[in-house]
Amino acid sequence: MTTNITTEPIDKVANLAGATIQHGPCNRRVYLMKLGKAKPQIVLPQVLELCRKHRYSKVFAKVPARHEKTFHDMGFETEARVPRFFKNQEDAAFLGLYLDVKRREPKKPQEIQKIRRLSRSMSKKAPAVPPEDLLIRRCQPQDIPAMASIYSRVFESYPFPISEPDFLQETMASNVIYFGVWKNDKLVAVSSAETDREEQNAEMTDFATLPESRGGGFARILLTRMESAMRKEGITTTYTIARAISPAMNITFAKQGYEFAGCLVNNTNICGTIESMNIWYRNL
């Protein structure tokens, strides 16, 4: 049975005082995606005003560590930290500000801890070797309809409109490199690397495998191929923001030698509900 991504309005990406943000009712938050040259003292009051106007319950920010104290002074707390995130030199701080105390309390905390321990116990396994009957390559514009179909089937909700062909085409033409696994000439699994070439980092994300094709380790096969491509792109740090209650994705990154960086509590609307997300990273 086909499951379509929720029709709830998709959060918008916008420029605010020189910073790149995402906000909207889907995640009920403001996500400060890239501070750029903007000054936190100018951006943050406008972010908080946006939250008050739309009744958002969280601000999530990803910023260079040199700004961490400024955010702390505004009430933020550091939820995760990735070393050498920016240009292989400066750490990144992932910070959260909770405007509703209920959102600060994680759902299923014991399950989250169990999955984290399990993932760490399976770290740094042998590299994934794809079977000979698979084709793994970078996706091209002609692959977009099949990609959108997979995302539509796999995710009931998602923080970005990845089931829309126009969105896939737009991002493919800019900073997102998509990869796919083909079996018997059929696309069965996809993923993406959202690259920031200037800062030399990339988010390994958007992993999806058709339900009938799961169990073949396609996510790790894709991740291995993606890392190889990122090295050629000059990327020095790769990371992911994975569902904290998803054993498969957390284990995939742990096996690949990624380090646990922290947990973003009740951060992202994915698979039909707002969930906590784990950050894993690797300095290539």
Domains with residue ranges and CATH for the chain: 12-104 (3.40.630.30), 109-283 (3.40.630.30)
Tokens 């943050």, residue? 44
Asked whether the predicted pLDDT for residue 1 surpasses 80, the reply is: no
- Alpha-carbon Rg for the chain in angstroms: 18
Q: Where does the pLDDT of residue 88 fall: very low under 50, low under 70, confident under 90, or very high at 90 and above?
A: very high
> Looking at the predicted structure, is the pLDDT value of residue 3 above 70?
no
% the chain with pLDDT above 90: 87
With left for phi above 0 and alpha for psi between -120 and 50, is residue 71 left, alpha or beta? alpha
pLDDT tens digits for range 221-257: 999 999 999 999 999 999 999 999 999 999 999 999 9
CB 167 within 8 A of CB 161: yes
Mean per-residue pLDDT for 150-175? 93
Residue 174 has pLDDT above 80, yes or no: yes
DSSP E strands, the chain: 12-16, 19-24, 29-34, 58-64, 77-86, 90-98, 134-138, 176-183, 186-196, 201-209, 237-243, 259-270, 273-283
Q: How confident is the model at residue 260 (pLDDT cuts 50, 70, 90)?
A: very high
In this structure, what token pair is assigned to residue 198?
A: 């200037």
Provide the whole-model pTM.
0.92
Q: State whether the Cα torsion 109-113-116-118 is positive or negative.
A: negative
With cut-offs at 50, 70 and 90, classify the pLDDT of residue 122: confident
